[in-house]
A = this chain, B = another copy of it.
Amino acid sequence: MELITWVVPVAGIAAVLFALYLARDVMSRDTGTPEMVAVGDTIREGADAFVKRQYTTIGVLALVGAVIIGLVIGIVETAEVADVESLAGPPIGILTAIAFLVGAACSMASGIIGMFVSVRSNVRTAAAARTSLVGAVQVAMRGGAVSGFLVVALSLLGVWGIFTAYETFIPGVGVEQAPFVIVGFGFGASFVALFAQLGGGIYTKAADVGSDLVGKVEAGIPEDDPRNAGVIADLVGDNVGDCAGRGADLFESTAAENIGAMILGVAAFAIAESAGWPNPEAWIFFPLVIRAFGLLATIVAMFFVRGSETENPMNILNRGYWVTTILSVAALGFVTYVMMDTAGTISNGLPVWVWFFFAGVVGLATSVVFVYITQYYTAGTFRPVREIAEASKTGPATNIISGTAVGFETTFVTAIAIGIALIASHWLGSQAGLVNAEGNDVGGIFGTAVATMGMLMTTAYILAMDTFGPITDNAGGVAEFSRAEAHTREITDRLDAVGNTTKALTKGYAIASASLAAFLLFSAYIDKVNLIIGNQIERGRTDIELLTSVNLADVGVFVAALIGAMLAYFFSSLAIRAVGKTAQSIIVEVRRQFREMPGIMDYTQRPDYARVVDITTRAALREMVAPGLVAVATPILVGLLLGYQAVAGFLMVGTISGVMLATVLNNGGGAWDNAKKYIEAGNLKDDAGNVLGKKTDAHAAAVVGDTVGDPFKDTAGPSLHVLVKLLATITLVLAPLFIR
């Protein structure tokens, strides 16, 4: 192993230690007034209860999944198809099952620890807000960063660890074989992410919608009022969805895309080896190393999260983001220069590494572009949100129509930006002159992989900003509950507004990375299929050919593509409906408490918050099963019925369709949310210039839009991110099943 690859475990461990340091730092902070502590404890208890039940369920599902995967692979990966013949049958089944379990366990661990810190940071953020804005930002950001660092570090260490273990200890597994053998890790991560995001997404929005409907609409008490038994569930939900859910989502992204990039690196490895370049393995290790440097850049950036009391808190966070990005560009240059050592080969006028450096920069630039696209479409200062607010004047119907139009519109820049990024990084990569023994250029696809890795360098920081969201949201709830001083609430309100933006940005980032990675994961699937078919041909099979094209003009591929496009809608339909059903359980319980505990309304009786949390948890976990099963079963059925080429078409068009629909749901939901906030802030005026604020019909219309957007942007949209990556990992792992 080259010296530079040691940076992987070093950076991974450093990030874990840094996360522990941040966690300690946060925990040592002031917890505020006794009232704050009491509310914080209630939220924490609810969250702990959810985490315990949720991860027990997911753990059991993952165990069952591992056994099934192990059996299936053990049966279908026979000596005829296995890459390492000595591992054919049960051994490869066991290795895959272990990789799956390790992936699942790492994802679960990062989710659990992140939640642990997140639900302890909220009360400390509220306490800090009593004295300082910057202090509160730092507590919330550090609490969020614990999640961010752990997710990325565990994903990095996990992939590196299982790769190194298999490569070192399993006979026959060299660097070229190992990336294929560890794909189970990505599948395990996807599997956990699917249920974490679905369960969390259903929980959070059911609690939100349910408690609002019964509290605000029926009982006529304000949002976040302590008399509403569903309010704690709502506060717990913020952590569950945005911290644990999005964490699992990006854990999966980094893991799966890392492994996919390593698979593509195998082709580059072969070229480097035959060209006699130094350290051909570097092409396979490159994704790990680049991510390690991304982690280091983020650690440095955390020290730049500072500013003045009078500043817009978003600027404070942006400062850190830009430091991460700029350091990442520098690191990208260094790593490509050192690792892509081609003994001085010049291709198209430039050294090989320069082409890939630019491809990586394309990825980093794409993430910046998406951050700004999301802001344009979901922040109140621009045309889309203002348009929705204006439409609210004529009632809820025009609000919804306008929001839908905005949501649909956002696909335009999204598709164009992704298209440009893919074509640019592919072109840059193809200029590097990596041509394999069969005369095919492999540099283009590797260029898209480098771009994806470049984009993922900033994941830890983005995720920290994301978890900043639920922490500040909760801090606001704590301040409200504990009837904190006005200036404290003012600060928590400002942070909450920033948190809304950062949560939206993370979704844009997650979508962009999923799209950019689609092409790479798809190519990895084709590599895997051709590895299997190549082995079959080598071992005497004559009725099969290498997959050189995924032909949409083939009726099976076309129908599979149609089903892929449908899946995004159908899955979303199930997820949205699950929110409705879960919300019903909450409504029934809160109504019961109002009825049977008459002291609640005059504050003489404390509502049974824990019972609502428990009921919501159980309902959410029950309701996540149907969409989860559909997500897992559809690719398998398509593969069994229509074959491996059709699966590729299914995967591609399913990904495109999922990305587009997620864009619509995330941005439409975000825009509705902020149109409501725009009106609440007094920005909407009638023809005579009077402010149309809270308690006007326009505001009521905007509340309808916000409620509609909730399950779109926090349940269905984020679950679609996970779905598209799950499709990629499941087909990658089960490829041997589809080739007959």
Contact = CB atoms under 8 A, between A and B. Distances in A.
A369 to B, nearest CB: 16
A574 to B, nearest CB: 8
Contact of A566 (B396, B557, B660): B660
B555 A401 contact: no
A572 interface: yes
Contacts of A412: 566, 569-570, 573
A389 to B, nearest CB: 14
A405 B652 contact: no
Interface string A397-423: 110111011111101101110110011
A649 interface: yes
A408 B553 contact: no
A335 interface: no
Interface in A553-604: 553-559, 561-563, 565-566, 569-570, 572-573, 576-577, 579-580, 587
Contacts of A414: 566
A275 interface: no
A105 interface: no
Contacts of A711: 401
A509 interface: no
A704 interface: yes
Contacts of A522: 552-553
Contacts of A657: 565, 656-657, 660
Contacts of A570: 408-409, 411-412
A408 B652 contact: no
A339 B549 CA distance: 37
A33 interface: no
A675 interface: no
B660 A565 contact: yes
B409 A573 contact: yes
B656 A397 contact: no
Interface in A158-177: none
Interface residues of A, number: 77
Contacts of A405: 573, 576-577, 580
Which of A415, A426, A562, A703 has the most C-beta atoms of chain B within 10 angstroms of its own C-beta?
A562
Interface string A494-515: 0000000000000000000001
Contacts of A274: none
Given A563-B415, A660-B565, A448 B555 contact: yes
B391 A580 contact: yes
A622 B110 CA distance: 55
Given A419-B563, A649-B552, A704 B400 contact: yes
A555 B400 contact: no
B660 A559 contact: no
A368 interface: no
A316 interface: no
A394 interface: yes
A562 B415 contact: yes
Nearest to A578: B405
A409 B522 CA distance: 27
Given A400-B708, A409-B570, A551-B549, A213 B419 contact: no
Contacts of A445: 555
B652 A423 contact: no
A415 B648 CA distance: 18
Contact of A664 (B416, B569, B712): B569
Contacts of A652: 552-553, 558, 561
Nearest to A526: B553
A419 B708 CA distance: 32
A528 B519 CA distance: 29
A670 interface: no
Nearest to A444: B555
Which of A554, A660, A703 has the most C-beta atoms of chain B within 10 angstroms of its own C-beta?
A660
Interface in A269-294: none
Nearest to A412: B570
Nearest to A414: B566
Contact of A704 (B552, B556, B704): B704
B408 A558 contact: no
A576 B415 contact: no
Contacts of A526: 553
Q: Which of A563, A659, A711 has the most CB of B within 10 A?
A: A563
A333 interface: no
Contacts of A707: 397-398, 401
A391 B213 CA distance: 12
A455 B211 CA distance: 50
A217 interface: yes
Contacts of A418: 559, 562
Contacts of A422: 555, 558-559
Interface string A410-451: 011011101100110010000000000000000011001000
Nearest to A448: B555
Interface string A53-67: 000000000000000
B558 A553 contact: no
A656 B661 CA distance: 14
Nearest to A642: B423
B398 A580 contact: yes
A408 to B, nearest CB: 4
A698 interface: no
Interface of A: 209, 213, 217, 391, 394-398, 400-402, 404-409, 411-412, 414-416, 418-419, 422-423, 426, 444-445, 448, 515, 519, 522-523, 526, 548-559, 561-563, 565-566, 569-570, 572-573, 576-577, 579-580, 587, 648-649, 652-653, 656-657, 659-660, 664, 703-704, 707-708, 711-712
**Interchain residue pairs A-B with the least CB separation, the first 6:** A408-B573, A415-B566, A397-B707, A549-B551, A419-B559, A411-B569
18 contacts: A213-B394, A398-B580, A401-B580, A401-B708, A404-B573, A404-B712, A405-B576, A405-B577, A406-B573, A408-B569, A409-B570, A412-B570, A552-B649, A552-B653, A561-B653, A561-B656, A562-B660, A569-B660
Given A401-B711, A411-B565, 20 more contacts: A213-B395, A391-B580, A396-B397, A400-B704, A402-B580, A407-B573, A408-B576, A411-B566, A411-B570, A412-B566, A412-B570, A423-B555, A448-B555, A550-B553, A551-B551, A552-B557, A552-B653, A558-B652, A653-B653, A656-B657
